[in-house]
Structure 1
Amino acid sequence: MFKQDKKDIFFDLDHTIWDFDKNAEETLDELYYQYRFDQLFEKEEATEFIETYTVNNHRLWNLYHHGKIDKAELRRARFADTFTALGVDPNLFPKSFEEEYLAICPQKTNLFPHAHETLSYLYTNYNLHLISNGFKEACEVKLAKSDLNKYFKNIFISEVVGVNKPDPRIFNFALDKAAAQTNSSMMIGDNIDADVRGAMNVGMDAVFFNPGQMDKPKDIPYMICDLKELQTIL
Structure 2
Amino acid sequence: MKKYDCLFFDLDRTLWDVDLNQKEALRVMYARYGLEQSGADFETCFSLYAASNARLWDEYRDGKVSREVLRDTRFEEMLAGIGIRDAALTRALSDAYVRLAPTFTNLIPHARQVARALAARYPMYIVTNGFVEVQHVKLANCGLSDCFRDIVCSEEAGANKPSPIIFEHALRRAGVGRERVLMIGDDYETDIAGAVRSGIDSVWFNPAGKPAGAEKPTLEIRSLDELTARL
User: How many Å separate the matches in 1 of 2:59 and 2:79?
Assistant: 19
User: How many Å separate the matches in 1 of 2:129 and 2:87?
Assistant: 30
Do structure 1's residue 186 and structure 2's residue 154 form an aligned pair? no
**Cα offset for 1:184?**
1.8
TM-score by length of 2: 0.92
| Equivalence for 1:137 | 133
| Equivalence for 1:35 | 33
TM-score by length of 1: 0.91
Listed as ranges, the matches of 1:164-203 within 5 Å are: 164-203=160-199
Paired residues in the alignment total 229
Runs of 4+ in 1 over 6 A off after TM superposition: none
Q: Which moved more, 1:204-213 or 1:131-140?
A: 204-213
| Equivalence for 2:47 | 51
Within the candidate set 8, 14, 19, 1:10 is matched to: 8
User: How many Å separate the matches in 2 of 1:145 and 1:32?
Assistant: 23
SS at match of 1:80: helix
Do structure 1's residue 83 and structure 2's residue 76 form an aligned pair? no
User: How many Å separate the matches in 1 of 2:79 and 2:92?
Assistant: 15
SS at match of 1:50: helix
**Cα offset for 1:83?**
2.8
Structure 1: any 5+ residue segments left out of the alignment? Answer: none
Q: Is the 8 A contact 1:208 1:220 kept in 2?
A: no
User: How many Å separate the matches in 1 of 2:13 and 2:68?
Assistant: 21
Q: Is the 8 A contact 2:9 2:185 kept in 1?
A: yes
Listed as ranges, the matches of 1:63-82 within 5 Å are: 63-82=59-78
RMSD: 1.7
SS at match of 2:7: strand
- Identity, in percent, stands at 35
SS at match of 1:206: strand
Within the candidate set 101, 105, 129, 2:101 is matched to: 105
User: How many Å separate the matches in 1 of 2:44 and 2:224?
Assistant: 30
